[in-house]
Amino acid sequence: MNFTKKVGALNLFIIALCVLIIVVAIYLFLRGDQRHAIFIGLWVPTILAFAIFLKQILNGGK
């Protein structure tokens, strides 16, 4: 089965976005900008929680 079809295009996009945000946060942290790195790194759980919330709403709360 096709991985994109099994996971879903939107879910794959959200996962890729979260990975990109983690990479940017690590880059900023290693560059010495710890405050901005931590701030950006906190976006990942927020985005994932919002995606789970939307999935629950779209599936009718199942």
| Entry pTM | 0.79
- The C-alpha atoms of residue 58 and residue 60 are separated, in whole angstroms, by 5
Give pLDDT, residue 2: 77
**pLDDT at residue 10, as a whole number:** 84
Give dist(CA 20, CA 16) in Å, integer: 6
Rounded to whole angstroms, how far apart are CA atoms 36 and 17? Answer: 18
Query: What pLDDT score was predicted for residue 40?
Result: 95
The first and second tokens of residue 19, run together, are 């990975």
Q: How confident is the model at residue 5 (pLDDT cuts 50, 70, 90)?
A: confident
Distances in Å between the alpha carbon of 21 and those of 1, 10, 42, 48, 51? 29, 16, 9, 12, 15
Task: For residue range 23-60, list pLDDT tens digits in order.
Answer: 999 999 999 999 999 999 999 999 999 988 988 888 87
